[in-house]
Amino acid sequence: MNLVYDFLNKRIKLTKEDSIVVGVSSGPDSMFLLYLLLNLQKQIGFKIIVAHINHNVRVESDSEELFLKKYCFDNNVIFESMKITEFKKENFHAYARNIRYEFYQSLINKYKANYLMTAHHGDDLMETILMRLTRGSTIKGYSGIPLITKRDNYKIIRPLLFLTKDEIKEFNDKNNIPYFIDKSNYSSKYTRNRYRMKVLPFMKEENKNVHLKFLKFSELLEEYDNYINRIVNSVYSKVYKNQILNISLFLNNDELICKLVLENIFKDLFSNLDKITDKNICMLMSFIKKNKTGTSLNLPNCVTARIDYGMLKFEGESKSNDYLIELRDNLVLENGMKFIKINTKENGNNILHLNSKEVRLPLYVRNKKNGDFIELKGMNKKRKVSDIFIDCKISREQRKSYPVVVDSDDNIIWIPKLKKSKYDSKNYEKCDIIFKCL
């Protein structure tokens, strides 16, 4: 118990100017944390805001909320609650966690609080680390649950990591601290509970303070992670921008740094790092080393890594890029290409000269389709549009929406800025349609 008080008084250094949002479920851990803060409040004078989420999945949920509301009223503490009215059954815990932290953030803003405190304890830390060691994770992931997490305008504090679940429950019972038990915590249906019921008891028999060893391990990994991340962040900013990785610059670094850069890229791509394992990192690293244009690798959450001419591009779930637009003066496409009507004898792949009698109007701009070909000007032969894209080093992502100009019979007249067809006229006197692509 002294470790908790020392942590809050000496390391956090709470003052009367502080405002603390504390997550309270009415379970033994959070009720203990609230009791502890109420005692400290009498000495220091900071403000407490109790944040309660009614998950609405147990028949006791409403009565527990009413109990906690009265408890806060009796102790002159601000009480805020929200009720989850609908949820995703397939991943309830992840969904509920997101809802909780959105609610906490709203209260941080409302009360201008500088701390959020949660009741994670030493057993939670052990379970988290063991689960991640078993499944595989990142260095940050292996460190488990940190004592302190810095956010933009506040810090998340977890002071109970110094204590075990049994120590908390024993203190509650001795001091008549009321609490409710969630029976689902004893169900072997959940992975965490299986670690709690089968693995932790054995470890505690070996060393009753094993949770403190895990806490030291967690803090040590976090220190190493903070140090090396200063190096990694420098490399990351040079090799990765706008979800594109420069492969040659990337591979110029030590493999450890490369793998950690990939971890940072995954942070950019995924909101939940629990989806990432060391297997994902190793597979992607091996894929990058091959550096073969046109190849792709599927990642979690329908993200695809694709190599195009020395660049690794990360793409979300594929969407249709189909479009068909009538060609007109001052037409601007989503990719920024602009078409204007002009009167010029200039030549080049960015300018099209047509005799309207030789094509069927109107003209259209569309994306490439499978099997598209163009009869090239002056060559008297057909070429696949896809081959032209490859020759001109148009990236795979750009190919999906790169425009081609067709007539009303769907003959390809022009691939703007790249190639012109046999329909492009040399006899400028007979040209009555001239477009330039900017």
Q: What is the CATH number of domain 242-315?
A: 3.30.465.60
Return the minimum-mean-pLDDT range out of 127-131, 246-250, 282-286, 389-393: 389-393
- Paired residues of 83 in beta bridges: 54
**DSSP category for residue 232:** H
- Summarised one tens digit per residue, pLDDT across range 187-237 is 788 888 999 999 999 999 999 999 999 999 999 999 998 899 899 999 999
- Which of 239, 167, 258, 249 has its CA nearest to residue 209? 167
- Asked whether the beta carbons of 144 and 222 are under 8 A apart, the reply is no
User: How many CB atoms are closer than 10 A to CB 415?
Assistant: 25
The structure's pTM equals 0.62
How far apart CA 164 and CA 191 sit, in angstroms, is 19
Asked, colleague to colleague, whether 2-218 and 242-315 share their fold, the answer is: no
Per-residue buried b or exposed e for 236-262, using 16+ beta carbons within 10 Å of the residue's own CB: beebbeebebebeebeebeeebbbbbb
| φ, ψ of residue 54 in degrees (nearest 5) | -90, 105
Bigger pLDDT: 201 vs 409: 201
Question: Mean of the pLDDT values across residues 82-92?
Answer: 68
**3-state secondary structure labels for all residues of 84-131:** CCCCCHHHHHHHHHHHHHHHHHHHHHHHCCCEEECCCCHHHHHHHHHH
- Summarised one tens digit per residue, pLDDT across range 237-292 is 999 988 899 999 999 999 999 998 998 898 878 766 666 677 888 999 999 999 99
* Domain-wise residue ranges, the chain: 2-218, 242-315, 324-437
The pair of three-digit structure tokens given for residue 370, joined into one six-digit string: 């499978």
User: What kind of architecture, by CATH, is found in domain 2-218?
Assistant: 3-Layer(aba) Sandwich (3.40)
At residue 319, the pLDDT reads: 44
SS3 of the chain: helix, strand, coil, percent, to 5? 45, 20, 35
Model confidence at 341: pLDDT above 60: yes
How far apart CA 223 and CA 26 sit, in angstroms, is 34
